[in-house]
Chains A and B, each alone.
Chain A
Amino acid sequence: MEVMLAIGIGVFAASGVWLLLRPRTYQVIIGLSLISYAVNIFIFSMGRVKMDAPPVLTPGIVADPAKLADPVPQALVLTAIVIGFAMTALFLVVLLAARGRTGTDHVDGREVE
């Protein structure tokens, strides 16, 4: 399972970086999204990979903390998703503005001859 996760993160990140270096703004934004997916899964994996482990204690029941999933990375991922989502939306607006102003979707605002 760890290997699967690692390969998944690697593929996401590599595709994201490749897309990010492309000259079209649409590719850049898809690349950024892929990178943020990779980062989110990476944060998740930092809480150790566990199956069927609850992240919060049940009141009244004595539980072994070692059998619980770490809730902090889940909270972090949630925050990171929200922020990443908002930033992508904001960047999309700027892309549209750039497209309208320069008439091209090249990242430098002009086509390379």
Chain B
Amino acid sequence: MGDAIRHLVIAPILLPLAVGAFMLLLDERRRLTKIALSLATVLAVLVMAIALVVHVDTPSGDRWSSLIVYPLGNWPPPFGIVLVADRLSALMVLVTAVLGCATLLFAMARWHKAGPRFYTLFLLLLTGLNGAFLTGDLFNLFVFFEILLAASYGLVLHGSGTARVKAGLHYIPINLVASSLFLIGVSLIYGVTGTLNMADLGRLVPTLPDDTRVFFEAGAAVLGVAFLVKAGMWPLSFWLPTTYAASCAPIAAMFAIMTKVGIYVILRLFLLCFGDGAGASADFGAEWLYYGGMATIAFGGIGVLASQSMQRLGGYSVLVSSGTLLAAIGTTNSAVISGALFYLVTSTFTIGAYFLLVELIERGRQAGADVLAVTMEVFGDPEEDIEEEEEEVGVAIPAAIAVLGGAFLACTALLAGMPPLSGFIAKFAMLSALINEAGDIPPSHWALVILLILSGLATLIAMTRTGMRTLWGPDEIAIPRVRAIEAMPVAALLLICVSMTVLGGPAMRYMEATAQLLYWPQIYAQDVLGAATPVVPATGGQP
């Protein structure tokens, strides 16, 4: 394979960036060219992501997994910036690419017309996401975070409207402050350790003397707060449901992966720097993640029950899923984390599909129908008493409603973690890992088990109520006009979840191997720093 496969690491970042920049030159009216270009780009990124996953999954030498290190500008790490594709980042890039394909297809039906420069912003978001997953350097991570955030600011406002501008007014400053915290954390860590390379950092942590260790941990904590804002941990998450509810459907679906970026970075840095081999710093902050995650699940669960619109319900489901993941990371148990990785993939696709689906369902209803339905539930319909008995025995269900209802049902099962779909497998894997721990199970883990089951119940109740109110209940429902290109992405995302059920074995094995590898930061560090040999022998100066 040689060099070609190594260049594959940078391609998912460069290609969307280049095409996105090129499309700025095209006139806004040449939509067909833009559609073709961006679709080709996203599909190419998908193919690359699959190639990456296949490559890191093939054993090489004495290892059962291989890792690609790509030194930018051929400067050897830790002095130069590296891109690293290991099992976890390749998986995240694949999830992003799949979700990107689905949302782009959906947006092509009509949303891309709602504002200028949609495709460029979309591709830049993809650039930032892929970069954040593939980078092996903290400051580079900051740069890619800013790229994806800048694109997301534009996309939140896409389609305009007062609600979106108001949501953006909160979303942007919160993220700017989080970015400042990010910088403070990064510079504190640099001031203490003198390196920004993640692998080098993981190697240095156990050797830190006690008086500087305090500063390192303070830096890591500040950095953690910045990522937790993005991941939406309670109490840093009040902006999230409003923003997700306000943004247009394909963007909200794409944002399903945005909270996962925060989770990904926490997972990576936590296990690299504060794993079992970190000496005095081992498991630093694990309790915060654990209890913070549990608080987020509780907050999300209450929010799901309380939300009156379908978009807000989706926003709170995002909170439930990120809370679950944070708590799972906080358990510092590799079996729980492998279940959590499975959950991460499933919940991302499910929430993406849900946001797309909501837009299709909402199309058939008049504005304010939710509030009306709730008031009717509480106060009763004044006209209900004088209503005549209905004559007809059966009502023919229109095909569109049947399809949407079926998809909604699948989303319900997935979000609540009910059998038979993959949401159940994910939750079951986490729960069984929690219960099957060696020795006594601490009460705090029982609390998480109960909370996970209760949050599933809350989601089930809320989704069933919403489904009955919108799809089943109404006497007359305007049949939404759904185009095939809009139904297809929803179906595709749900089909992936179904196939993750059928192929649960291989998928779970990949996640288990990934989780176990995360527990060997030494291997990661050795691969990244030991493989300092440049792609082409460097003839330049020394750092």
Instruction: Report A's interface with B, CB cutoff 8 A.
Output: 20, 25, 28, 32, 35-36, 39, 42-43, 45-48, 72-73, 76, 79-80, 83, 86-87, 90-91, 94-95, 97-98, 101-102, 107-109
In this assembly, does B21 line the interface, its C-beta being within 8 Å of a C-beta of chain A? no
Interface pair A32/B176, CB less than 8 Å apart: yes
Interface pair A46/B191, CB less than 8 Å apart: yes
Name the contact of B180 in the complex, choosing from A35, A91, A94, A97 (C-beta under 8 A).
A35
Report the separation of the CA atoms of residues A89 and B350 in the bound assembly, to the nearest whole angstrom.
35
In this assembly, does B169 line the interface, its C-beta being within 8 Å of a C-beta of chain A? yes
Report the separation of the CA atoms of residues A102 and B169 in the bound assembly, to the nearest whole angstrom.
12
Name the contact of A101 in the complex, choosing from B139, B143, B162, B191 (C-beta under 8 A).
B162
Interface pair A107/B169, CB less than 8 Å apart: yes
Chain A residues with Cβ below 8 Å from B169 are: 25, 94-95, 98, 107, 109
Interface pair A109/B165, CB less than 8 Å apart: yes
Interface pair A39/B183, CB less than 8 Å apart: yes
Report the separation of the CA atoms of residues A67 and B195 in the bound assembly, to the nearest whole angstrom.
19
Binary flags per residue of B447-483, CB closer than 8 Å to A gives 1, else 0: 0000000000000000000000000000000000000
In this assembly, does B44 line the interface, its C-beta being within 8 Å of a C-beta of chain A? no
Given contacts A94-B172, A97-B157, contact A87 B179 (CB under 8 A): yes
Report the separation of the CA atoms of residues A97 and B115 in the bound assembly, to the nearest whole angstrom.
14
Chain B residues with Cβ below 8 Å from A98 are: 165-166, 168-169
In this assembly, does B184 line the interface, its C-beta being within 8 Å of a C-beta of chain A? yes
Interface pair A86/B172, CB less than 8 Å apart: no
Chain B residues with Cβ below 8 Å from A47 are: 191
Chain A residues with Cβ below 8 Å from B150 are: 86-87, 90
Interface pair B190/A73, CB less than 8 Å apart: yes
Interface pair A72/B190, CB less than 8 Å apart: yes
Instruction: Report B's interface with A, CB cutoff 8 A.
Output: 139, 142-143, 146, 149-150, 153-154, 157, 160, 162, 165-166, 168-170, 172-173, 176-177, 179-180, 183-184, 186-188, 190-191, 196
Chain B: CB-nearest residue to A108: B166
Given contacts A46-B188, A97-B157, contact A90 B172 (CB under 8 A): yes
Chain B: CB-nearest residue to A95: B169
Chain A residues with Cβ below 8 Å from B143 are: 79, 83
Interface pair A73/B166, CB less than 8 Å apart: no
Name the contact of A42 in the complex, choosing from B166, B173, B184 (C-beta under 8 A).
B184
Q: A102 → chain B, closest Cβ, in Å?
A: 6
Interface pair B172/A80, CB less than 8 Å apart: no
Report the separation of the CA atoms of residues A6 and B165 in the bound assembly, to the nearest whole angstrom.
37
Q: A99 → chain B, closest Cβ, in Å?
A: 9
Report the separation of the CA atoms of residues A87 and B179 in the bound assembly, to the nearest whole angstrom.
10
Chain B residues with Cβ below 8 Å from A101 are: 162, 165
Given contacts A28-B173, A90-B150, A91-B176, contact A109 B166 (CB under 8 A): yes
Interface pair B187/A32, CB less than 8 Å apart: no
Given contacts A32-B177, A94-B168, A101-B162, contact A80 B183 (CB under 8 A): yes
10 further A-B contacts with Cβ under 8 Å, apart from A79-B142, A91-B153, are: A36-B180, A39-B184, A43-B183, A47-B191, A79-B143, A91-B173, A94-B169, A97-B157, A101-B162, A109-B166
Counting chain B CB atoms within 10 Å of each CB, the highest count among A42, A79, A80, A90 belongs to A80
Chain B: CB-nearest residue to A102: B162
Interface pair A94/B157, CB less than 8 Å apart: yes
Report the separation of the CA atoms of residues A87 and B154 in the bound assembly, to the nearest whole angstrom.
11
Counting chain B CB atoms within 10 Å of each CB, the highest count among A46, A79, A109 belongs to A46
A selection of 23 A-B contacts at a CB cut-off of 8 Å is: A32-B173, A35-B177, A36-B180, A42-B187, A45-B191, A79-B139, A79-B142, A79-B143, A83-B142, A83-B146, A86-B150, A87-B150, A91-B172, A94-B153, A95-B169, A98-B166, A98-B168, A101-B162, A101-B165, A102-B166, A107-B170, A109-B165, A109-B169
Report the separation of the CA atoms of residues A108 and B166 in the bound assembly, to the nearest whole angstrom.
7
Chain A residues with Cβ below 8 Å from B186 are: 43, 76
Q: B189 → chain A, closest Cβ, in Å?
A: 9
Report the separation of the CA atoms of residues A29 and B313 in the bound assembly, to the nearest whole angstrom.
32
Report the separation of the CA atoms of residues A101 and B166 in the bound assembly, to the nearest whole angstrom.
9
Q: A80 → chain B, closest Cβ, in Å?
A: 6
Chain B residues with Cβ below 8 Å from A80 are: 142, 183
Chain B residues with Cβ below 8 Å from A102 are: 162, 165-166
Report the separation of the CA atoms of residues A72 and B191 in the bound assembly, to the nearest whole angstrom.
10
Counting chain A CB atoms within 10 Å of each CB, the highest count among B183, B184, B191 belongs to B183
Name the contact of B187 in the complex, choosing from A73, A86, A90, A94 (C-beta under 8 A).
A73
Interface pair B176/A109, CB less than 8 Å apart: no
Chain A residues with Cβ below 8 Å from B160 are: 97
Report the separation of the CA atoms of residues A95 and B146 in the bound assembly, to the nearest whole angstrom.
19
Q: A37 → chain B, closest Cβ, in Å?
A: 10
Chain A residues with Cβ below 8 Å from B196 are: 72
Interface pair B187/A43, CB less than 8 Å apart: yes
Interface pair A20/B183, CB less than 8 Å apart: no
Chain B residues with Cβ below 8 Å from A36 are: 180
Report the separation of the CA atoms of residues A72 and B190 in the bound assembly, to the nearest whole angstrom.
9
Report the separation of the CA atoms of residues A36 and B176 in the bound assembly, to the nearest whole angstrom.
9
Chain B residues with Cβ below 8 Å from A87 are: 146, 149-150, 172, 176, 179
Report the separation of the CA atoms of residues A45 and B187 in the bound assembly, to the nearest whole angstrom.
9
Chain B residues with Cβ below 8 Å from A79 are: 139, 142-143
Chain A residues with Cβ below 8 Å from B153 are: 90-91, 94
